[in-house]
């Protein structure tokens, strides 16, 4: 038997997703077609708690439990665009959270290695990503400070929690011509883009942001 109510909900959410991309993302200047297409396709409502699904396509972050959040859609899109992902890119994500950012990167054609310091969140995200068919994402529970050295170097590295400054091991795992996007700072945070070229690393501040702090080794002096 066809579940008409579910079909209507799915259609409604697809419309909400398209509106989200047009009014929150494209309207703010994100132009990468690969990013826009991924944001149109990934079912954001699947990555939030059931009681938050009606707000999944709103212009704000949402709580996902354990003091963590799923980022505002525009910020997800902006960070994805800054990475300049193309199919086949190898990307390291620090802070899996709900798995939404990893899904967007996978939808863009990246192969993603994602670290989450909270084991229960890592397990939940891993199950969801596999259920939705994102087989190019590997999720592991652990402290992201040291990165994933056995899979390095990475074309892109993205942090979805804010350290006071980017951990040195992550910069070391950035490939030549690679790009690292990170919210930096404790109370006042800036979204920062690091690029490696000719063995040198350049730093560029993008916009002020607000993320949960990076925990674990990053909290220590």
Virtual torsion, Cα 135, 140, 146, 152, nearest 10 deg: -30
Is 46 strand, coil or helix? helix
End-to-end CA distance of the chain: 60
Let me know if 98 is a catalytic residue: no
Is 202 strand, coil or helix? strand
Q: Which class for 4: exposed (0-12), middle (13-18), buried (19 or more C-beta within 10 A)? A: exposed
Helical pair 33-41 and 73-83, crossing angle rounded to 10 deg: 140
Q: How many alpha carbons fall within 13 Å on the CB side of residue 4?
A: 0
**Residue carrying structure tokens 């990503």:** 129
- The whole-angstrom separation of Cα 182 and Cα 175 is 16
- Concatenating the DSSP letter of every residue in 171-195 gives HHTEEEEEEEEEEE-SSSEEEEEEE
Catalytic residue among 12, 71, 114, 136: 71
Q: Would you name the residues annotated as active-site residues?
A: 71
């Amino acid at each position: 038997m066809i579940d008409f109510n579910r079909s209507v909900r799915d259609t409604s959410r697809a419309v909400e997703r398209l509106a989200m991309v047009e009014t929150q993302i494209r309207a703010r200047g994100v132009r990468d077609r690969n990013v826009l297409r991924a944001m149109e396709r990934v079912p954001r409502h699947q990555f939030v708690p059931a009681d938050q699904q009606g707000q999944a396509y709103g212009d704000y972050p949402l709580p996902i439990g354990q003091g963590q959040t799923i980022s505002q859609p525009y910020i997800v899109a902006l960070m994805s665009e800054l990475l300049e992902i193309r199919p086949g890119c190898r990307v390291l994500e620090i802070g899996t959270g709900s798995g939404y950012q990893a899904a967007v990167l996978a939808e863009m054609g990246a192969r993603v290695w994602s670290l989450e310091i909270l084991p229960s969140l890592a397990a939940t995200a891993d199950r969801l990503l596999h259920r939705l068919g994102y087989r190019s994402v590997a999720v592991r529970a652990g402290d992201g400070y040291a990165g994933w050295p056995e899979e390095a170097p990475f074309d892109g590295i993205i942090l979805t929690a804010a350290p006071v400054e980017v951990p040195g091991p992550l910069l070391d795992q950035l490939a030549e011509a690679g790009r690292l996007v990170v919210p930096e700072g404790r109370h006042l945070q800036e979204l920062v883009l690091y690029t490696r070229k000719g063995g040198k690393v350049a730093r560029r501040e993008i916009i002020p942001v607000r993320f949960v702090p990076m925990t674990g080794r990053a909290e220590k002096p």
